[in-house]
Structure 1
Amino acid sequence: MDRIQAMTAFLAVVDADGFSAAARKLGVSPSVVTRAVTELEERLGTRLLTRTTRFVRLTDTGRVYAENCRRILADLEEADSTAAGAHAAPRGEFTITATVNFGAMHVAPVVREYLSLYPQVSVHCWFIDRNVNLVDEGVDVAVRIGELPDSSLQAIRVGRVRQVLCASPAYLARQGVPRRPEDLSQHTIVTATGLTPTPELRFANDLKVRVQPRMTTTTNESAAAMAIAGFCITRLPLYQIAPAVRRGELQLVLEQFERPALPIHVVHREGRNASSKIRTFIDMTVAALRKDASLQ
């Protein structure tokens, strides 16, 4: 097996988390994949993977080598596309990730538009509420909310997320509009546990107000529904309730006491050598998110 095929097999093992799954993905026998990785390790004189009967994990050397393999294979794919005259017509597949709610509301529409423009591309969407390791898990692009740790990844800031308190006009007419955070103790509160895991609501200047929620819920959607129904005040990301605010179903309160907004970044790992399909998707995503008023 040549070196490019061996690199492809190695990355398949990394991405599939095992030799058998990698073999199924590549359409070859497990012994072929095992031999390819073994040959790589013998050529390099070092171990790339730690194998047990229960798992396969990258060594520190393997992690660096996997990142380099991805870059090399991406460069080869781009070279082939350019030589074939397909540089302006992206093709292939890639994987993106975002949180569940943000992905459904803001990333999926971009993917839909992208796929309609480029029929030779397939996209895998990982909408999950955890930070995916782009290098270790073979993900090409991420939309991240929050401050970013220092890393070698490329990041483009596209907006911000405000965490806002809201209630229906009917609720506020009946119960009164809170003027200070301390007034919330006199109101019916519903909290989404992902945003408010403790009974404290935090505000600017390290102000904390302890509340007794009448209801806690694991989903933002159910908290929003309770507020729209006129039952409570709740705290949610502005992007999620922006349509209800525009329709007049919800009204923001205590805006002057909000904590600083969280930044939104489009993150990728290919840098200046990103393939045509990745560059095109990133450009489209950045433009769409920067244009959305609820994210600015």
Structure 2
Amino acid sequence: MDRLTEMEAFATVVDQGGFTDAAKKMGISKSAVSKHVSSLEARLGARLLNRTTRRVSPTEIGLAYYDRARRVLTDAGEADALVTSMQAAPSGQLRISVATDFGVNHLSPVLGDFLATYPDISVNMVLNNRYVELISEGFDLAVRIGELEDSSLRARKLTETKMRMIASPAYLEKYGRPKRLDDLNEHKLLHYSNQANGSVWKVSAPSGEKRQIRTAGWLSVNDGQSLLNAAKSGLGIAYLPSFLYADAMKNGEIEDVIPDLPVDTQGIYAVYPPGRFPQPKVRAFIDFLVDAFSEKGPESW
């Protein structure tokens, strides 16, 4: 006989307190339920139920087996439900978190195509510049840039961005071009104020080692686009990702301050809570993003 059916018959008898009610619950005859349970006991070589004319109750061994059997049956039911849900059309509200700069400049412009492709999904996009707790704060997914701090999350790489020190031609003409990292001590720096480590740039030196640039900034802002605007206006040197500066550099509004330095690259990822399979709406959105950014980065923005 089918092992799972035997297990289900036994567990249902325990749940319902007897064979008659178990048969009604399962939609089969009382004799069929009795046959499944007897077959299970014979296969295990143990008596699982105490049977009297008035009641049925599990033996000590039967109670221990019931606990495990109920878990197995629950897992089996969830597995069936998972297959059903994964074949269903993606739907429901998708709540995503994304850094303001990337969300405004690159995610917002492609959302229309996603919503047109999946009309049964609604999107709630939250723009912020902090690491949100996906599960406790109710997010389905986040787009994150740089090193991933939470290793418990699942992640899929979308593309890459490069980091450069940039400034306007007017600034470099007025204050001179630094030739070495140490020369930055004599320059006006534009810092991103939301960094956890404060006003520090982690930059690769020509030797390949990582250097921390701690020079005090002339201006600190919690928004990358504002830093880019300040750099274009000649206010100082900013350290920004290519997805922000690419157009300005192409138009000659800013320049690479120290071209000989190694260029640092950061990954851009879709991250989502752990679990063996993502929900259909999450999987659909990630697949869409991979396609949308397939020809983007690390410089071509």
- Structure 1 partner of 2:167: 167
Query: Structure 1 residues 97, 78: CA separation in 2 closer, same or farther (over 3 Å shift)?
Result: farther
Could you say what secondary structure the match of 2:256 adopts?
A: strand
Shift of 1:135: 2.6
- Alpha-carbon deviations, 1:65-107, whole Å to 9, x = none? xxx99x95x985973684xxxx4x5332221111222222222
Q: Choose the corresponding residue for 1:250, options 228, 247, 254.
A: 254
CA contact (8 A) 1:289 1:295 kept: no
- Alpha-carbon deviations, 1:83-142, whole Å to 9, x = none? xxxx4x533222111122222222222322201222221111122222222233332222
The yes-or-no answer on 1:79 pairing with 2:95 is no
- Alpha-carbon deviations, 1:206-262, whole Å to 9, x = none? 334443433233332322112111232222222122221122211112244357433
Q: Using the alignment, how far apart are the partners of 1:192 and 1:152 within structure 2?
A: 27
- Structure 1 partner of 2:157: 157
CA contact (8 A) 2:265 2:298 kept: no
Q: Using the alignment, how far apart are the partners of 1:199 and 1:146 within structure 2?
A: 17
Q: Choose the corresponding residue for 1:289, options 286, 289, 293.
A: 293
Q: Which has the higher helix share?
A: 1
- Structure 1 partner of 2:176: 176
- Structure 1 partner of 2:37: none
- Where does 1:229-244 land on structure 2 (aligned, <5 Å)? 229-244=233-248
CA RMSD of aligned residues (A): 3.3
Query: Structure 1 residues 143, 295: CA separation in 2 closer, same or farther (over 3 Å shift)?
Result: farther
Query: Structure 1 residues 178, 196: CA separation in 2 closer, same or farther (over 3 Å shift)?
Result: farther
Larger displacement relative to structure 2 (225-234 or 129-138)? 129-138
- Structure 2 partner of 1:107: 107
Q: Using the alignment, how far apart are the partners of 2:80 and 2:130 within structure 1?
A: 29
For structure 1, which runs of at least 5 residues remain unmatched after alignment?
Answer: 1-67
CA contact (8 A) 1:97 1:139 kept: yes
Q: Using the alignment, how far apart are the partners of 2:270 and 2:199 within structure 1?
A: 32
- Alpha-carbon deviations, 1:162-220, whole Å to 9, x = none? 33210112222333322211222333322222359645544222334443433233332
Could you say what secondary structure the match of 1:113 adopts?
A: helix
Query: Structure 1 residues 140, 163: CA separation in 2 closer, same or farther (over 3 Å shift)?
Result: same
- Alpha-carbon deviations, 1:14-72, whole Å to 9, x = none? xxxxxxxxxxxxxxxxxxxxxxxxxxxxxxxxxxxxxxxxxxxxxxxxxxxxxx99x95
Q: Using the alignment, how far apart are the partners of 1:219 and 1:198 within structure 2?
A: 14
Shift of 1:278: 2.3
TM-score normalized by the length of structure 2: 0.62
Counterpart code for 1:235: Y
CA contact (8 A) 1:163 1:258 kept: no
Query: Structure 1 residues 155, 186: CA separation in 2 closer, same or farther (over 3 Å shift)?
Result: same
For structure 2, which runs of at least 5 residues remain unmatched after alignment?
Answer: 1-73
CA contact (8 A) 1:178 1:184 kept: yes
Larger displacement relative to structure 2 (229-238 or 243-252)? 229-238
Counterpart code for 1:244: A
Q: Using the alignment, how far apart are the partners of 1:282 and 1:214 within structure 2?
A: 39
Could you say what secondary structure the match of 1:178 adopts?
A: coil
Q: Using the alignment, how far apart are the partners of 1:138 and 1:75 within structure 2?
A: 25
CA contact (8 A) 1:159 1:295 kept: no
Q: Using the alignment, how far apart are the partners of 2:222 and 2:194 within structure 1?
A: 7
TM-score normalized by the length of structure 1: 0.63
- Structure 2 partner of 1:279: 283
Q: Using the alignment, how far apart are the partners of 1:148 and 1:221 within structure 2?
A: 23
Q: Choose the corresponding residue for 2:272, options 250, 253, 268.
A: 268
- Alpha-carbon deviations, 1:269-295, whole Å to 9, x = none? 375633433222111111223321246
The yes-or-no answer on 1:124 pairing with 2:107 is no
Q: Sequence identity, in percent?
A: 31
Query: Structure 1 residues 75, 229: CA separation in 2 closer, same or farther (over 3 Å shift)?
Result: farther
Where has structure 1 moved over 6 Å in runs of 4 or more? none
